Amino acid sequence: MLEFLPILFFVIVCLVLMAGYPVALTLAGVSLLAAGAGSLAGVFDSAFVFSIPNRIYGILVNQNLYAVPLFVFMGSMLQKSRIAEDLLKNMAMVFGALPGGLGISVILVGMLLAASTGIVGATVVTMGILSLPIMLQTGYRPSLACGTICATGTLGQIIPPSICLVLLGEVISNAYQQAQLSSGNFAPDFVSVGDLFAGAIIPGILLVIAYATYVFVIAVINPEAAPPVKDRGAGLSRSALITALLSGLLPPIFLMVAVLGSILLGVATPTEAASVGAMGAMLLAGLKRKLNFKILQQVAIETMRITSMVYLILVGAAIFSSVFRGFGGDSLIENLLTNMPGGVVAATLIVMLLIFLLGFILDFIEITFMVVPLVGPILLAMGLDPIWLGIMIAINLQTSFLTPPFGFSLFYLRSVAPKEISTGDIYRGVIPFVIMQLGLMLLLAWQPALATWLPALLK
């Protein structure tokens, strides 16, 4: 009976979270209460509590995590200075007359915004406010418009550089080293955040292409579902359209390429590249005359709010994982996964299913620091590639956030969608995109090189 205490502890934490209590405080508070009760009952080793301050200190001095506030600042600056809005208008002006052109423009702009923020809620809400009214006024089918925006908002999970990949890369790196040390390799290989960025590029591009192709095909087969924008760009010369496109599209793309390229080429660490991105976003806003003290103040406050939330969750997750291990949870999980019929394939499927279900009630930050440190070392010790596993987890979380009826992305869009848009429209709209993401996961399972080839090439 005592061996199932970790499962009971985990279930209690999830139930308290589902009751609506703050995630970080729940993780820390329930864990410490459970540790105290376990110590009194003689079933918990208090040494695991004494190790918590060192783990928290390690989080606070981790230089890779310094990239988080810088990336948040960059994305918030692009959003608050309305650069993303201008980009959408310019691209709609150029591509709006093509079949599905407005929907494809929304996907491309959402991709850039998602990559710069990495926060699903912020991207979905922003794109919902900016693009949903335009798509509905143009005559887009409500389900197609909602599905496109929801799916685009989740691209921040897989399109680098994103906060999700920064945090996931840090956890996967630690898990990989732990797996190697446990197998007797005392000179372990390292996996960097840049490796995970490189591994995400091809799957991310494939997903964007799949989204855009779907919208284009729908527009060709059923033009009434995605009609062209007839008044966009009317009366403008070709040179004026090209100027509108380049002035809106090139600066943000150049910023993303500069940030990502410096990481992949080894010129800068993720933190250094993030600082370049933050300064570049300010410079871009200044050149477009959209930077003032009020916007800078809003960006600074938003950055402080999100960064504080992230670090508080990291502290709570560190306390949770220490207590979970104190109850013998790591040994229980290792025994369950390694002795499971079907070997590594069955173990991977079970873990992916667990992460998918947890995605209905937890954000990616909680899952990344609660679940991945517990199951990652075990799966990696069974022979899985760390980069492949990280990309699969990212896409799995992305799919979970999009899947009815509990996907976070659906609720975010519902909060800003007009009343005439029904919840059923949103649910129906996202189903094709969920199928595409599941198809990408199957493709990666069949061809792991889609995630591992580019990181190996760049080493």
> What is the residue-wise DSSP string for 325-391?
HHTTHHHHHHHHHHTSTTHHHHHHHHHHHHHHHHTTTS-HHHHHHHTHHHHHHHHHHTT--HHHHHH
Whole-number mean pLDDT of the chain?
83
Ordered by start, the domain boundaries in the chain are: 63-312+386-458
Q: What per-residue confidence (pLDDT) applies to 267?
A: 83
Supply the DSSP symbol for 238: H
Which position has the higher pLDDT, 240 or 342?
Answer: 342
Buried b or exposed e, range 311-323, using 16+ CB within 10 angstroms: bbbbbbbbbbbbb
Q: 264-310, pLDDT tens digit by residue? A: 887 888 888 888 888 888 888 888 777 888 889 988 998 898 888 88
Give 72's pLDDT tier (boundaries 50, 70, 90).
confident
Pairwise CA distance, residues 411 & 407, whole Å: 7
Q: 194-251, pLDDT tens digit by residue? A: 889 899 999 999 999 999 999 999 999 998 888 887 655 555 566 666 676 666 667 7
Give 386's pLDDT tier (boundaries 50, 70, 90).
very high
Which are the contacts of 338, defined by CB distance < 8 A and separation ≥ 6? Answer: 347, 378, 382
**Given a cut of 80, is residue 459 above it in pLDDT?**
no
Q: 395-434, pLDDT tens digit by residue? A: 998 888 888 877 778 888 888 888 888 888 889 999 999 9
Q: 20-52, pLDDT tens digit by residue? A: 778 788 888 999 999 999 888 888 888 888 888
Cα–Cα distances in angstroms (integers) from residue 406 to residues 47, 302, 356, 392, 409, in the given order: 38, 26, 11, 20, 9
